[in-house]
């Protein structure tokens, strides 16, 4: 067997195993999707049914019982809003840190990360009481602000790493032309690191979309996100597995599809400065 | 600057949404149980009868609901106008002055509510929550399997008889397990069942001086019996089973017997979700040395937090949802087989209801025989059948539940588990200053 | 750019995070020294360090710290290593690679609660779960994952969710690797391992550092997976520090003790962070 043939076989093996791994990873999601078209009785059948007569009754039940679009809209507003707010704060800061680093820049960054380590459940009461005092319970505003704050450290970390890749010479050249700091950010830094900014934002949106703790504890009837909607389908007394699969499918679908569509962007952006 | 403007804008927007919660709009916190969902579906009927009240539903998972409403009510958050609570919370919260005492006019016929339910939802004679549906626990069993084994089920079997029946019905080769019982840790999960079993073995949670009594021989006897029974004749994975998991097994025909909430009877006899709907029969909870506290008592009920600005509207709603008329409304829409049960004597007196169900007598008997203020063989200082209605119980019940599950999983001995449980309970009681 | 301007630009993020940290933190410290039980609104007063003592003497305290460290450590190693392997596997172009990629990264978009419910009910359930069905079909005894290996079950769930994140980041970094350098090394007769060790790994140092840092933050406070599946048990075998605090705060309603626990968690998190930064700090930032 020649080296070439050997290489070929190895290549084929790689491809086959990639497919296998990918299918294993995706299988639980596929199964959830499948279960959402079963009746409650079929959902718990032993052995599990792969072929069955699909029913839409779970979906029509959700349609009848809840206002899916209200929850979905809340999810969109809070995850995009939180990300946008965090970005607006983070871009100038990360820019300053990257291009005028002080002695303590690295420490500040690590300190920022450490604020994320405060376990949410340990500070629930303080935050709850503050929101209550400010009359912000069950509002999207509270979630947007909290979401911006919890993702700010991660966004700062990633953006800082991107901005450092921008050659300083370019900035210096523009400064010679008398560009202001604002125009430096908007006309040079942002366009040059656009891929990084976009994919950081995407990452942040995904994380916020799935955030459960604050979404469940700070909302009731107005500002609930899809996470809260999913939680409301668990039942202490009564079978709910098929219905839960349907609502989970509906709750995850927007962000999964969003992730698929922006996959190319994510792939291009998240290189972490490896491109020189 | 942009960031500031943006957040100012968001703030302004949120204020308008906050204001839009106009008077006459009730926010109701509830759980995702069948009867509650049915109530949500009937919202238009209520709004038609009360055009100036609009209903807003917040459905939460049971544990989350308890945690959310407790946080809200104790901080006077005012997020909810009506809350779904259980028999555990009603007396504690009533005592704290967190709930509006409920007084209804004559046509509500408060005396029609089963006395055990009223008692469990009252504090010092005042009703603090109106029962929406109530339950006790009983045996649900497969008559066909029992017949095949050549055995019968008396109406008040002993635990020894249950063990024999479980042994006779178990056929692991075909995946049939003689008995399915709760094993998932939680004060409302395995401990609800475990406490009733322990009660019947003569055990109790606390002595009269409030010291925990988990290291008593009675507890040891009961837990040993439970672990042995489930290990020999129960399904694998009992440690993760609570109501729903066992319901799934039962409906698939995997269990011979199941002792759990009476509400399950309406699910296992429903041919739409059960493969064994026509093979089910019912009996009262088994007994070891006493029948006191052998079956639990629980009510999902509606209460009004003291902080709400719309107490009158809230009361109108609570009255509507827990009235005889509501039960008749459900009956007229879905038939008498699907009405919320366990609350009113008049439901059980109704000939249409009797004709529509096979479990009505067993359920009523179980509910009537439960007495929260006299549920143990020895005298105790607490109220409650499958719990002790004190604020510490939830934490204690969870810790003890974990230990029982560890014993069931074979990771500790029963003796060790109960010693740990005793220690955990003692810590909590000491911290709370009982002794 | 002068330092003053730089400070002004950094100010918003620093001030906001400072507020976000200081306000709840000081309230938490205050709560941790008083009697504060939600169900006893009339009890209050300074209690010194007794809340700390109560939390610290909980028999689950040390096990929960150990569990937290095991969780973080195992999930980090599993996700980073399998992330690397998978990323290398799909580095070479092949037909329909886009589909493989999409399938691979999908678990990252699933909500943690849904993740836990999926695994608990459809895979790990010893009666109707797929693993049980598979075991029975080959004549083996079904394994009761969640009660026999509770912590490992949680690790599997979390790793399923986060491996795709590692794959995503490593995959993109790999594509920016210098192909010419790789080919030159190949011509020099460098073996697979030596190419990986001398070229690929250094190239990936920074992405690996970032993956570890970001994941660590999330894994120190794993909650949903435990809450939905094992409830911290059996016994305390899958109780981590976050769950222990949850049990105190929201199940026991004792905010005083829970606040004390929260401060323990912050200390632990910072110890882990300092430790990690020592190890990977060099490849991060400057």
Per-residue pLDDT tens for B239-262? 888 888 899 889 989 999 999 999
CATH at C239: 1.10.3720.10
Give the whole-angstrom CA distance, residue C103 versus residue A15.
14
Mean pLDDT of A253-276: 70
- The more confident residue out of A112 and A265 is A112
In the block, tokens 């509500």 appear at B108
The total number of structural domains that make up chain C: 1
In 10 A of CB C92, how many CB atoms? Answer: 12
Instruction: Say if C9 falls within a structural domain.
Output: no
Domains of chain B, with CATH numbers? 25-128+297-356 (3.40.190.10), 136-295+389-431 (3.40.190.10)
B103 near A CB under 8 A: no
pLDDT tens by residue, chain B, 435 residues: 344 444 444 444 444 444 434 558 899 999 888 888 889 889 999 999 999 999 989 888 777 888 888 888 888 878 899 999 999 999 999 998 999 999 998 889 999 999 989 988 999 989 999 999 999 999 999 999 999 999 999 998 999 999 999 999 999 888 899 999 999 888 888 999 999 999 999 999 999 999 999 999 999 999 999 999 999 999 988 888 888 889 988 998 999 999 999 989 888 988 888 899 999 999 999 999 998 999 999 999 999 999 888 899 999 999 999 999 999 999 999 888 889 998 999 999 999 999 988 888 899 999 999 988 888 999 999 989 999 999 999 889 989 999 999 999 988 999 999 999 999 999 999 988 898
Distance from CA of A177 to the nearest CA of B (A): 25
> Which chain B residues in 46-85 lie under 8 Å from chain C, judged by CB atoms?
63, 67, 70-71, 74-75
Question: CB B402 to CB C38 under 8 A?
Answer: no
The percent helix, strand, coil of chain C (3-state, each to 5) is 75, 0, 25
Q: Measuring CA to CA, which residue among C171, C42, C128, C264 is closest to residue A41?
A: C128
Under the banding of pLDDT at 50, 70 and 90, the label for residue A103 is: confident
Over residues C131-138, the mean pLDDT reads 86
Buried/exposed code over B37-61 (b: 16+ C-beta within 10 A; e: otherwise)? bbbbebeeebeeebeebbbbbbbbb
Kindly give the pairing relationship between strand B280-284 and strand B130-142: antiparallel
* B8 inside 8 A of chain A by CB: no
Predicted local distance difference test score (pLDDT) of residue B79: 86
Beta bridge partners of B261: B137
> What ipTM is given for this predicted complex?
0.86
B&C contacts, CB < 8 Å: 108
Residue C282: band (very low, low, confident or very high) from pLDDT cuts 50, 70, 90: low
Domains and CATH numbers, chain A: 3-57 (no CATH), 58-269 (1.10.3720.10)
- Any CB–CB contact under 8 A between A21 and chain C? yes
Per the CB < 8 Å rule, is C252 touching B395?
yes
Instruction: Quote the pLDDT of residue B295.
Output: 93
What is the tens place of the pLDDT at every residue in A197-235? 888 898 899 999 999 889 888 888 788 899 888 888 876
3-state secondary structure chain A: CCHHHHHHHHHHHHHHHHHHHHHHHHHHHHHHHHHCCCCHHHHCCCCCCCCCCCCCHHHHHHHHHCCHHHHHHHHHHHHHHHHHHHHHHHHHHHHHHHHCCCCCHHHHHHHHHHHCCCCHHHHHHHHHHHHHHCCCCCCHHHHHHHHHHHHHHHHHHHHHHHHCCCCHHHHHHHHHCCCCHHHHHHHHHHHHCHHHHHHHHHHHHHHHHCCCHHHHHCCCCCCCCHHHHHHCCCCCCCCCHHHHHHHHHHHHHHHHHHHHHCHHHHHHHCCCCCCC
Residues of B in contact with A124 (CB under 8 A): 71
**In this structure, is residue C145 part of a structural domain?**
yes
- pLDDT at residue number A169: 80
Q: Hey, are the CB atoms on A18 and C89 less than 8 Å from each other? A: yes
Residue B259: exposure state from Cβ atoms within 10 A (0-12, 13-18, ≥19): buried
> What pLDDT, on a 0 to 100 scale, did the predictor assign at position A65?
80
By C-alpha distance, the chain C residue nearest B73 is C38
Tell me, yes or no, whether C190 lies in a domain. yes
- Do the Cβ atoms of B3 and A237 come within 8 Å? no
Residue of B nearest to C120 (CA): B240
From chain B, the residues in CB contact with C37 under 8 A are 391, 432
Establish if C10 belongs to a structural domain.
no
**d(C-alpha B44, C-alpha B428), whole Å:** 46
Residue C240 or residue B77, greater confidence? C240
- Whole-prediction pTM value? 0.86
pLDDT of residue A238: 66
Write out residues 265-294 of B within 8 Å (CB-CB) of A: 267, 272-275
Using the predicted structure, report yes or no on whether residue C197 has a pLDDT greater than 60. yes
Inter-residue contact C126 to C142 (CB < 8 Å): yes
| The pLDDT value given to residue B7 | 46
Is residue A271 pLDDT above 60, yes or no? Answer: no
**Which of A153-157, B178-182, B291-295, C6-10 has the least mean pLDDT?**
C6-10
Reduce the DSSP state of residue B202 to 3 states and report it.
coil
Q: At what angle do helices C255-280 and A124-133 cross, to 10 degrees?
A: 110
Average pLDDT of chain A to the nearest whole number? 84
Taking residue B213's Cβ as centre, other Cβ atoms within 10 Å add up to: 19
Name the residue facing C232 among B71, B235, B402 (closest C-beta).
B402
Q: What is the pLDDT of residue A270?
A: 59
pLDDT tens per residue across span B154-186: 998 999 999 999 999 999 888 899 999 999 888
Work out the minimum CA distance from A229 to partner chain B, whole angstroms.
8
Cross-strand pairs, B59: B30
Is C2 among the domain residues? no
Give tens-digit pLDDT for B283-336: 999 999 998 999 999 999 999 999 888 899 999 999 999 999 999 999 999 888
Residues 236-275 of chain C with CB under 8 A from chain A are: 241-242, 245-246, 249-250, 255, 258-259, 261-263, 265-266, 269-270, 273
Is C155 contained in some domain?
yes
Q: C66 or C141, which is more confident?
A: C66
Q: Do C235 and B405 touch (CB under 8 A)?
A: yes
Q: Report CA Rg, chain B.
A: 23
Confidence of residue C268 (pLDDT cuts 50, 70, 90): confident
Whether the Cβ atoms of residue C113 and residue B61 lie closer than 8 Å to each other:
no
* Residue C32 belongs to a domain: yes
C-alpha to C-alpha distance for B425 and B212, rounded to whole angstroms: 6
Confidence bin at A8 (pLDDT 50/70/90): confident
The answer to whether residue C3 is domain-embedded is: no
Quote the pLDDT of residue C251.
81
Residue C155: which domain range? 15-283
Highest mean pLDDT pick, A18-22, C11-15, C183-187: A18-22
Q: Which residue in A90, A132, A82 sits closest to A108, CA to CA?
A: A90
């Amino acid at each position: 067997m020649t080296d070439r043939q050997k290489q070929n076989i190895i290549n084929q093996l790689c491809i086959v195993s990639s497919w296998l791994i990918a299918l294993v990873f995706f299988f639980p999601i596929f199964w959830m999707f499948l279960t959402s078209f079963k009746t409650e009785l079929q959902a718990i059948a032993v052995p599990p049914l792969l072929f069955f007569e699909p029913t839409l009754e779970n979906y029509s039940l959700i349609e009848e019982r809840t206002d899916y679009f209200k929850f979905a809209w809340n999810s969109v507003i809070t995850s995009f809003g939180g990300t946008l707010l965090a970005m607006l704060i983070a871009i100038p800061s990360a820019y300053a840190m990257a291009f005028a680093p002080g002695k303590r820049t690295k420490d500040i960054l690590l300190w920022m990360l450490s604020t994320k380590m405060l376990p949410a459940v340990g500070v629930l009461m303080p935050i709850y009481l503050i929101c209550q005092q400010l009359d912000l319970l069950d509002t999207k505003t509270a979630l947007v602000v909290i979401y911006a704050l919890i993702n700010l450290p991660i966004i700062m970390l990633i953006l800082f790493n991107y901005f450092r890749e921008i050659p300083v010479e370019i900035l210096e050249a523009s400064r010679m032309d008398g560009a202001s700091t604002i125009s430096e950010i908007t006309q040079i830094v942002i366009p040059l690191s656009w891929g990084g900014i976009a994919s950081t934002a995407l990452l942040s949106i995904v994380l916020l979309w799935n955030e459960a703790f604050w979404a469940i504890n700070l909302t009731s009837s107005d500002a609930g996100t899809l996470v809260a909607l999913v939680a409301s389908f668990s039942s202490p007394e009564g079978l709910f597995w098929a219905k839960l699969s349907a609502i989970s499918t509906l709750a995850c679908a927007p962000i999964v599809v969003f992730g698929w569509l922006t996959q190319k962007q994510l792939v291009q952006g998240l290189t972490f400065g490896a491109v020189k | 600057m942009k960031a500031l403007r943006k957040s100012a804008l968001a703030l302004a927007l949120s204020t308008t949404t906050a204001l839009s919660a106009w008077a006459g709009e009730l926010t109701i916190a509830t759980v995702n149980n069948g009867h509650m969902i049915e109530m949500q579906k009937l919202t238009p009927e209520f709004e038609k009868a009360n055009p100036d009240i609009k209903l807003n539903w917040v459905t939460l998972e049971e544990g989350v609901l308890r945690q959310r409403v407790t946080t809200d009510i104790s901080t006077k958050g005012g997020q909810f106008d009506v809350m779904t609570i259980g028999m555990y919370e009603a007396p504690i919260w009533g005592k704290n002055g967190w709930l509006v005492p409920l007084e209804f006019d004559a046509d509500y016929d408060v005396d029609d509510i089963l006395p055990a339910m009223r008692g469990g939802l009252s504090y010092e004679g005042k009703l603090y929550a109106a029962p929406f549906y109530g339950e006790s626990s009983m045996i649900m069993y497969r008559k066909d399997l029992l017949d095949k084994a050549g055995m019968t089920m008396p109406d008040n079997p002993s635990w020894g008889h249950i063990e024999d029946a479980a042994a006779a019905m178990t056929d692991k080769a075909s995946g049939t397990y003689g008995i399915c019982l709760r094993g998932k840790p939680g004060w409302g999960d395995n401990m609800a069942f475990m406490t009733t079993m322990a009660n019947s073995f003569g055990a109790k949670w606390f002595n009269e001086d409030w010291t925990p009594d988990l290291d008593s021989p009675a507890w040891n006897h009961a837990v040993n019996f439970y672990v042995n029974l489930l290990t020999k004749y129960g399904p694998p994975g009992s440690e993760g089973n609570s109501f729903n998991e066992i319901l799934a097994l039962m409906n698939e025909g995997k269990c011979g017997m199941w002792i759990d909430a009476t509400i399950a009877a309406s699910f296992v006899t429903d041919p739409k979700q059960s493969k064994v709907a026509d093979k089910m029969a019912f009996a009262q909870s088994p007994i070891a040395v006493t029948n006191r506290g052998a079956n639990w008592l629980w009510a999902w009920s509606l209460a009004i937090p003291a902080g709400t600005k719309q107490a009158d509207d809230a009361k109108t709603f609570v009255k509507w949802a827990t009235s005889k008329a509501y039960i008749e409304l459900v009956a007229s829409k879905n038939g008498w087989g699907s009405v919320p049960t366990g609350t009113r004597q008049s439901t059980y007196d109704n000939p249409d209801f009797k004709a529509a169900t096979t479990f009505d007598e067993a359920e009523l008997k179980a509910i009537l025989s439960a007495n929260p203020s006299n549920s143990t063989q020895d005298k105790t200082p607490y109220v409650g059948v499958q719990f002790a209605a004190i604020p510490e119980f939830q934490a204690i019940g969870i810790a003890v539940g974990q230990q029982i599950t560890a014993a069931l999983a074979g990771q500790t001995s029963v003796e060790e588990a109960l010693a740990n449980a005793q220690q955990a309970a003692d810590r909590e009681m000491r911290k709370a200053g009982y002794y | 750019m002068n330092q003053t301007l730089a400070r002004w630009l950094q100010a918003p993020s620093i001030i906001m995070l400072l507020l976000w940290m200081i306000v709840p933190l000081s309230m938490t410290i205050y709560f941790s020294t008083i009697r504060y039980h939600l169900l006893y609104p009339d009890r209050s007063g300074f209690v010194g360090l007794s809340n700390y003592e109560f939390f610290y003497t909980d028999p689950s305290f040390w096990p929960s710290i150990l569990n937290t460290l095991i969780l973080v450590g195992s999930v980090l190693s599993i996700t980073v290593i399998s992330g690397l392997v998978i990323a290398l596997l799909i580095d070479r172009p092949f037909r329909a690679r886009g589909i493989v990629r999409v399938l691979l990264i999908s678990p990252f978009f699933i909500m943690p609660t849904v993740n836990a419910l999926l695994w608990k009910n459809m895979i790990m359930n010893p009666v109707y779960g797929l693993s049980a069905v598979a075991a029975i079909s080959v004549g083996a005894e079904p394994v009761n994952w969640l009660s026999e290996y509770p912590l490992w079950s949680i690790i599997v769930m979390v790793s399923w969710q986060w491996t795709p994140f590692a794959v995503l980041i490593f995959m993109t970094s790999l594509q920016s690797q210098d192909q010419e350098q790789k080919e030159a090394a190949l011509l020099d007769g460098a073996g697979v391992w030596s190419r990986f060790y001398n070229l690929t790994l250094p190239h990936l140092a920074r992405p690996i550092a970032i993956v570890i840092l970001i994941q660590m933050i999330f894994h120190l406070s794993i909650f949903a997976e435990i809450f939905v599946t094992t409830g911290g048990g059996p016994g305390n075998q899958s109780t981590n520090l976050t769950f222990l605090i949850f049990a105190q705060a929201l199940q026991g309603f004792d905010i005083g003790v829970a606040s004390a626990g929260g401060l323990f968690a912050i200390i632990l998190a910072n110890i882990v962070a300092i430790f990690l930064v020592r190890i990977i700090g060099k490849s991060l930032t400057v």
